[in-house]
Amino acid sequence: MCGIVAAVGNIDTDKCQRMLHRIKHRGPDDTGEIRRGNVWLGHQRLSIMDVEGGHQPLTDSGATTYLVANGEIYNHRHIREDLGHELFETGSDSEAALHALIIDGPVGLARLRGMFALAFATEEGDFLAARDPLGVKPLYWARRDDVILFASELRAFDEADRPLVESFPPGHCWSPSGGLVRFADAIPAHVRPARRAEEAGVWDRTLVKAVRESIVTAVENRMMSDVGVGVFLSGGLDSAIVAAVAAEYAAKNGQSLPTFAVGAEGSSDLEAARVVAEFLDAQHHNIEHHEILMSPQDAVDALPRAVTAIEHYDPSLVRSAVPNLLLAEYASKRVHAVLTGEGADELFAGYPYYHEEPFTDPDALQAELVRTVGELHHLNLQRCDRASMAFGLEAREPFLDRDVVELALSIPPEHKMIGPGIEEKKLLREAFEGWLPDSILHRGKEQFGDGSGAKEVLEAAVRNSPDVAAAEGVELRTREEAGFYAIWDRELRGIRPEATLGLFATT
């Protein structure tokens, strides 16, 4: 996990270095840069895979191609076997992306399974930038007449360039010769519900088993690390499932599993997380559970940092970001990577509004699930990435594994609808019966900002915020949102809200 900066065109090295320095928090372990002709690549590294040998920019044995990458390529071992181990000089998973692009060109992006934003260059001046299909890892760009600039975060850009900054679209690559090209859809075109309700009936054990196995595999793949992995444990169903699978994996490999929970004293999240940790520890004897108590003053003090870190002012994201930031600050001193439960609600219809009109119609529900999964990159994923990377901590989201996404969205939407005796995410709960205590397996949905106790404190903190002149086209819906926007506007002066909200056109 890292931060990247790239430029192609009329290079201003000082500007590029300034941009890289502004995202040093994303990779505090190492800094690397290289210029070749009209291309500049920069990298801030958080050392997780091949700590000693994974310095970036990566290059091939002939030093004719270069790559900087942010993220993880989870199938890098398979790519090594397919392309030939003799090509590889490091144990870095990012080197798989380098050789895939050397051998196949942009088509090589299709080989990569994981979360990534990358920039690739050759000695001859060729250049390519790309972002993973779901946009799990961030990438922004600013297109000037004489230079194109890329960076992992909005704050990286000079104020003069900020009005031009846009979110680089997920599943796309860009090169000077080919322009912007889609190489993968967030939701593959072939993913459609397998059968209608009248044909599907009640799900069978085969489907339950498939859901469980896909999630187990996704979690195990994300335990990949040379420096240890923990779990953010809110006590909700999704993070508890991740923790249960990770604990099983850690026990089989003779490892302990650190889990981290945050909340106000007596908050429901802290209590539920403690129940999960004690249950798993009794089964596996390998849980190291950590609780971070958040006082009202802690939440208020963290608010400006949280808004600045997540580069967003949406109230639901900010409420979640404050405890998330405190959790990341603590966890980063103990592990380099954590697993989270992001994505499960969007895949299995966990939010209450999914079960209200007009989404009581199966086709409408399916369309909304597909839409919200596709928009995660500028909402919950943006909050999750920035809050953790503010302290050089990598967050990994097993539920957003491509196989899990494809399976979940191929399930008839009728199987995700509630009814008499049928709670939300029943299929997911059934898949992990016996893995968790019943009280957690059937715990109702509670937003992170609510369960941690942050919501009321933050609403009060900005209740008397002064009126704010919002940018054109920005509608501030509540006094709370106006207060968060004022912080955002002060800290990210010059950035257009569209860059945060993902509303720019992609052509």
* Known binding positions for ATP: 262
Residue set of the binding site for L-glutamine: 93
Residue 384 bears catalytic tag: no
Distances in Å between the Cα of 470 and the Cα atoms of 91, 461, 473, 498 are 48, 20, 8, 13
Binding residues are 93, 262
- The per-type count for the chain, helices as H runs and strands as E runs, is 19, 17
Which residue, 49, 145, 54, is CA-closest to 394?
49
Contact (Cβ atoms closer than 8 angstroms) between residue 435 and residue 241: yes
Extract the tokens encoding 100.
């895939």
Q: What is the rounded CA–CA span in Å between residue 366 and residue 196?
A: 12
Structure tokens at 472: 């054109």
3 state SS of 153: coil
- By the 10 Å C-beta count (0-12 exposed, 13-18 middle, 19+ buried), 451 is classed as buried
What is the residue-wise DSSP string for 314-378? -HHHHHHHHHHHHHHHHHTTT-SEEE--TTHHHHHT-SGGGGSTTTTSHHHHHHHHHHHHHTGGG
Please name which of 347, 343, 54, 108 lies closest in space to residue 222, comparing C-alpha atoms.
Answer: 343
- Nearby residues of 146 by Cβ (< 8 Å), 6 or more positions away: 9, 10
**CA–CA separation, 165 vs 496, rounded Å?**
8
Using DSSP's 3-state secondary structure scheme, residue 180 falls into strand
The whole-angstrom separation of Cα 294 and Cα 262 is 7
Catalytic option among 2, 16, 173, 384: 2
Backbone angles phi, psi at 361, to 5 degrees: -85, 130
Token pair in block for residue 2: 């890292």
Report which of 43, 137, 58 is spatially closest to residue 96, judged by C-alpha positions.
58
The 8-class DSSP code of residue 41 comes to E
Q: How far apart are CA 405 and CA 416, in angstroms?
A: 14
C-alpha to C-alpha distance for 293 and 65, rounded to whole angstroms: 48
Cα separation, 461 vs 69, whole angstroms? 39
CA separation for the pair 28, 309 (Å, rounded): 16
Question: What is the C-alpha separation between 364 and 366, in angstroms, rounded?
Answer: 5
**Cα(328)–Cα(124) distance, integer angstroms:** 41
Active site residues: 2
